Amino acid sequence: MEKYKVAIMGPLYPDARARLEEVCEIKLWDKSDPIPRDELVEWLADAEGFISRGDIKVDKDLLSQAPQLRVIAQSSVGYDNIDISACTEQAIPVGNTPVVLVEATADLTFGLVLSSARRIHEGWNYVQEGHWTSRRNIPLGVDLFGKTLGIVGMGNIGVAVARRAQASGMQVIYHNRSIRTDQEQLAATFVNFDQLLEESDFIVVLVPLSAESRHLFGKDQFKHMKSSAYFINASRGPVVDTEALYEALVNQDIAYAALDVVNPEPFSDHPLIHLPNVLITPHIGSATLETRTQMGELTADNLLAGLAKQTLPKCVNDEVNY
């Protein structure tokens, strides 16, 4: 049997790779920098399947140069880099990896809450630099117990963060497009957006990036928050106006920001990095061995299903799922 031609943006984990190699002729881009556009266009000229990645724009123009393409799979829950309506127009189903990354991403998100509240990374810096005896210079942390955590975007990851917060004795409020039907079991209260900004001691952002959520957090929203508020973003960088966040931290409109995502990414020369009240991790929400392995497997499942014109297990545009 002739093998399917596929273009893959790495990393590609060993188990998934072995499965794909059996039936696919693979072109693999394994560098951390994104593939140059003209090279990608060449790769897609005869590709039947494509594993894309968050730092690559999959738009109408690209799709129009990929006449054989019948499935796109991406190893992430977010797919804001892909023009889904253009894919749907070309009857290309797009697979993603929800569910399998929920617990790992919730761990990292709550880890940012905990690490910023208790200044864990600053403590480590002190020890590393030989300043143990001057540890009193580290500003005192704050208790989580008895505090209010506000979650913006109460999907599966939000629910998993809420569980962790409740175990630490926090009250949880949330804002979402709609009230969750299971909110009694969640023991979390739906509030409007302004109320969440005003009442939360910690604000955790978990909304997908869309036209509506771009710069959802700007100057006005930071002004609305408590001056003691901790702001945690684990969704997408552009949900926050970076300059407004910088100003809010410098002016102490809020106390602290912990970010797993920033705008732009990679992020290396912004003055935000040098503020004492900021903690930034390099977009590692789902980066555990177990979770990335499962994401790789699900991505392979989606790709192989699409190549065989079978139903993708996780598809974001079900109207064109096989």
Contact set with ligand 8YV (CB under 6 A): 54, 76-78, 101, 283, 285-287
Closest-by-Cβ residue to ligand 8YV is 76
Cβ 279 to ligand 8YV, closest distance in Å?
Answer: 18
Our answer to whether residue 236 is catalytic in this structure is: yes
Specify whether the CB–CB gap between 144 and 168 falls below 8 A.
yes
* CB closer to ligand 8YV out of 41 and 287: 287
What is the 8-class DSSP label of residue 140? P
Cβ 318 to ligand 8YV, closest distance in Å?
Answer: 19
Cβ 215 to ligand 8YV, closest distance in Å?
Answer: 19
215 sits in the region (left: phi over 0; alpha: psi -120 to 50; else beta) called left
* CB closer to ligand 8YV out of 242 and 286: 286
264 upstream amide cis, omega within 30 of 0: yes
* CB closer to ligand 8YV out of 86 and 287: 287
Give the residue among 242, 191, 188, 251 at the shortest CA–CA distance from 216: 242
Per-residue tokens: 282: 């390099």
Run of H or E including 13: none
* CB closer to ligand 8YV out of 72 and 77: 77
* CB closer to ligand 8YV out of 115 and 235: 235
Strand ranges (E), the chain: 4-9, 24-29, 49-52, 71-74, 94-95, 148-152, 171-175, 188-190, 202-205, 230-233, 256-259, 278-280
- How far CA 196 is from CA of 113, 117, 169, 181, 189, in Å, comes to 17, 19, 18, 19, 10
Per-residue tokens: 97: 């990896």
Cβ 76 to ligand 8YV, closest distance in Å?
Answer: 3
Q: Provide DSSP, 26-85.
A: EEEE--SSPPPHHHHHHHHTS-SEEEE-TTS-B-HHHHHT-TT--EEEESSS--TTB-HH
* CB closer to ligand 8YV out of 5 and 236: 236
Cβ 20 to ligand 8YV, closest distance in Å?
Answer: 18
Catalytically annotated residue among 19, 265, 270, 297: 265
Our answer to whether residue 283 is catalytic in this structure is: yes
Amino acid residing at 214:
R
Per-residue tokens: 179: 């009230």
Our answer to whether residue 42 is catalytic in this structure is: no
Cβ 315 to ligand 8YV, closest distance in Å?
Answer: 15
Classify 22 as helix, strand or coil.
helix
Catalytically annotated residue among 164, 175, 236, 292: 236
- Residues with catalytic function: 236, 265, 283
